[in-house]
């Protein structure tokens, strides 16, 4: 089978028009992991789903027999889709969608190994994109390497942003060189250049880029840059700023870096967690962003409103999501507008 690039497909940017958003419902399979906040997690997922559904249709993937619970907690505006799953991080285990110049949409299934086999089992999550493709009746491409959606951003014009700590980690693709991974990204996401950053230390993902950055538009990236020199990520953030400013994108543009200083910590079930304000999802016309329930939230939301002046910024609780290992971006996956390729 040809690759997406050979067939004229590429991954569009998140800020482009969506026909829907996919999420995955917190499951009893991971009850020991979520405990003692599983019920709270379901409430927060439902709140995120309703926030997204105010901008675009929302499909909630859930285990067989859980559609009624999804309906009860999320409301009638959310469409449940029963597919066997192990976990609830649709950005990472779910499909990634690509489009062509005629507006056709196809699906790419990357290998999913639960962030380097950190959480077992993961076989149902690994198979979930194939089930989604069958449900939608959309063409599916099978990429021969490990990738999680939260480890990448694209600008839709040939540039992909990622961190070295994930795709190059020996628990992901130990037999592939940097050049081979870049070639695979070109083949399956239609990109021309990869810009590599250094990730912040992360318990679950080894350092996804969606915890520290977000593409705003082609050539412009907002990057977490804490002001406090005592912050564990202060020096790393400065190195990333310098690196980006010295880089160009696939079209030869110098990258503009927008600093994002607000940070906040809260406690969930006795665990100190940082709220990843930039781990936000961009539905049609909106920004769904996590908050801590602290005064710092006001500064963060105001800064997001400056960065995305044409979008409505909506806050959702971030503490439980951070306890689980992410934020709104980690639990969502956009489906770009267009007709499904068969």
Catalytically active residues are 330
Helix axis angle for 38-53 and 67-74, nearest 10°, is 70
Nearest CA to 171 out of 231, 248, 227, 116 is that of 116
Count Cα atoms within 13 angstroms, Cβ side, for 255: 26
Secondary structure (H, E, C), 33-85? HHCCCHHHHHHHHHHHHHHHHCCCCEEEEECCCCHHHHHHHHCCCEEEEECCC
Residue ranges with strand state E in 74-182 = 78-82, 96-99, 104-111, 140-146, 152-154, 159-163
Q: Are 17 and 326 spatial neighbours (Cβ–Cβ below 8 Å)? A: no
Count Cα atoms within 13 angstroms, Cβ side, for 155: 25
Q: Are 73 and 40 spatial neighbours (Cβ–Cβ below 8 Å)? A: no
Burial class (CB in 10 A: 0-12, 13-18, 19+), 145: middle
Nearest CA to 19 out of 48, 59, 46 is that of 59
């Amino acid at each position: 089978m040809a690759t997406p690039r050979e067939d004229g497909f590429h991954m569009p940017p998140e800020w482009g028009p969506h026909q829907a958003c996919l999420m995955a419902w917190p499951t009893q399979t991971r009850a020991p992991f979520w405990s003692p906040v599983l019920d709270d997690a379901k409430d927060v997922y439902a709140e995120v789903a309703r926030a997204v559904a105010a901008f675009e249709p929302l499909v909630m993937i859930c285990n067989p027999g859980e559609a009624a619970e999804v309906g009860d907690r999320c409301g009638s505006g959310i469409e449940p889709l029963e597919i066997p799953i192990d976990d609830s991080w649709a950005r990472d285990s779910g499909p990634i969608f690509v489009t062509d110049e005629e507006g056709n949409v196809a699906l790419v299934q990357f290998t999913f190994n639960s962030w380097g086999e950190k959480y077992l089992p993961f076989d149902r999550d690994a198979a979930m994109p194939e089930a989604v493709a069958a449900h939608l009746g959309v063409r599916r491409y099978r990429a021969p390497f490990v990738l999680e959606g939260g480890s990448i951003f694209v600008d839709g014009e040939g540039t992909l942003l990622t961190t070295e700590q994930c795709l190059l980690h020996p628990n992901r693709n130990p037999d592939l060189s940097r050049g081979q991974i870049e070639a695979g990204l070109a083949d399956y996401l239609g990109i021309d250049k990869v810009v590599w950053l250094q990730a912040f230390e992360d318990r679950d993902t080894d350092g996804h880029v969606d915890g520290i950055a977000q593409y705003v538009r082609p050539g412009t990236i907002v990057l977490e840059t804490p002001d406090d020199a005592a912050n564990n990520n202060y020096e790393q953030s400065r190195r990333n700023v310098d690196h980006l400013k010295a880089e160009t994108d696939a079209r030869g543009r110098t990258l503009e870096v927008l600093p994002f200083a607000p940070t906040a910590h809260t406690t969930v079930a006795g665990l100190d967690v940082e709220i990843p304000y930039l781990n936000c999802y961009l539905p049609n016309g909106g920004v769904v962003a996590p908050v801590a329930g602290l005064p710092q939230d006001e500064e963060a939301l105001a800064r997001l409103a400056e960065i995305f002046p044409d979008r409505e910024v909506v806050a959702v609780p971030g503490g439980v999501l951070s306890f689980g290992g992410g934020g709104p971006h980690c639990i969502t996956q956009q489906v770009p507008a267009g007709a499904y390729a068969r």
